[in-house]
Structure 1
Amino acid sequence: MSEVREIIFYGKSGDGVHAVADQLVQRLIKQGFYVISYPEYDPERRETLAKIHVRVSREPIHVRGPVMNPEIAVFFDVRLLRDNQEALGARKIIVNSPSRELVTKYVGNVNGEIISINLNELRRTGADYTTQVVNLIIDTLLNGYTR
């Protein structure tokens, strides 16, 4: 049976969460992975929570349904950590936050590695933050696969 790796993205509609997830999926497919990705929205679409569930494998994926045990959790807003405690068991947590200290203030100690990226500052400077986030995720995924 193939190993299926899970990633979940949390953001608010309009945060760019879809752009990052789409770029990730396209790059993984080009590298020969099988990928399943689908969004989940709160009932109202504007300014509400958007989750994107992503599964990645070297073989066809037969698992359906929401991501329950993500290896990587990506939060586009540090405030979303409080309401999505189920993702805090991830091995790597990538958070839009100016500092790691702010993340621990919101959730306390976390078992996984926390990476804080100030996406708001990157947006202000015009930097391509989507590529930076996608590269972090791909590096984590590829380190877990033996070639």
Structure 2
Amino acid sequence: MTGESYEMVFFGRGGQGAVTAAQIMALAAVGKGLYALAYPEFGPERRGAPVRSYLAISNEPIEVREPIERPNISIVFGPDLLRVNPEIPERTRDYIIVNSRRYETVEPYLRGFGGGIVHINAYDLSTKYLGRAIVNTAMLGALLKVFDALTVDDVANAVLRVFGGKLGKANAELIRVAYNEARVIR
């Protein structure tokens, strides 16, 4: 990752863990000797309202602390967020990681996007491994399919530090399973 910087935006809804996901990635990056900055953008809305969380990872100190307008990677926690944020495909430079039960439900929103797409059904995986559809760690597993500055073990270890105990172990396992289940569309 010499001289490189990566910018990501996590698009979620309050309660889905988008802010926590960015923080976990930042923790994993710092643990690997990189610089990282994770910061959310949300208003006074409650659970279920759209949330954005920004993440920058670099080999060099990160000076800029403003909303990321043209991320390398957008991580979209649900298909409805592509309807609410139709600008995602035109602003994303490299990859879109998207969660939906079936790819066909999001494909129309991504037709004009020229970059890579990773699809995962994080709803069902998180329900199976966590007992509820909090998709953040499953989305991290899918993200790692195309973001190789960190390994699955780097992020799983960060999750264990954040959550600890049974919850940490379940989320670390979910990252591994999601990494294997995520499908690179292109």
Q: Is TM more than 0.5 here? A: yes
Deviation at 1:43, TM superposition (A): 3.4
Deviation at 1:42, TM superposition (A): 3.3
Counterpart of 1:28, as a letter, is A
Q: Deviations over 1:29-83 (max 9, x none)?
A: 1111101110001331322111001111001011221001111100111111123
Deviation at 1:24, TM superposition (A): 1.1
Counterpart of 1:134, as a letter, is L
Match in the other structure for 1:49: 50
Greater shift, 81-90 or 61-70, is seen at 81-90
Could you tell me which runs of 5 or more consecutive residues in structure 2 were left unpaired when the two chains were aligned.
Answer: 150-186
Greater shift, 133-142 or 31-40, is seen at 133-142
Instruction: Tell me if 1:140 matches 2:141.
Output: no
Q: Map residues 58-137 of structure 1 onto 2, 5 A cutoff.
A: 58-88=59-89, 89-126=92-129, 130-137=136-143
Tell me, in whole angstroms, the C-alpha distance in 2 between the residues paired with 1:11 and 1:130: 9
- 1:125 is paired with a residue whose SS is helix
Please identify runs of 4+ aligned residues in structure 1 that moved more than 4 A.
Answer: 127-132
Tell me, in whole angstroms, the C-alpha distance in 1 between the residues paired with 2:26 and 2:127: 26
Tell me, in whole angstroms, the C-alpha distance in 2 between the residues paired with 1:7 and 1:56: 9
Q: Which structure has greater helix proportion?
A: 2
Match in the other structure for 2:25: 24
Using the size of structure 1 for normalisation, the TM-score is 0.83
The number of residues matched between the two structures is: 142
Identity of aligned residues (%): 32
What is the Cα-based RMSD across aligned positions, in Å?
Answer: 2.2
Counterpart of 1:100, as a letter, is Y
Greater shift, 47-56 or 128-137, is seen at 128-137
Greater shift, 27-36 or 39-48, is seen at 39-48
Tell me, in whole angstroms, the C-alpha distance in 2 between the residues paired with 1:123 and 1:33: 29
Contact kept, 8 Å, 1:8 with 1:67, in 2: the verdict is yes
Match in the other structure for 2:163: none
Tell me, in whole angstroms, the C-alpha distance in 1 between the residues paired with 2:60 and 2:17: 29
| Higher RCO (C-alpha under 8 Å, 6+ residues apart) | 1
Q: Deviations over 1:87-142 (max 9, x none)?
A: 31331111111232221134434212111111110122116965443244345333
Q: Which structure has greater strand proportion?
A: 1
Deviation at 1:25, TM superposition (A): 1.3
Counterpart of 2:125, as a letter, is L
Contact kept, 8 Å, 1:98 with 1:116, in 2: the verdict is no
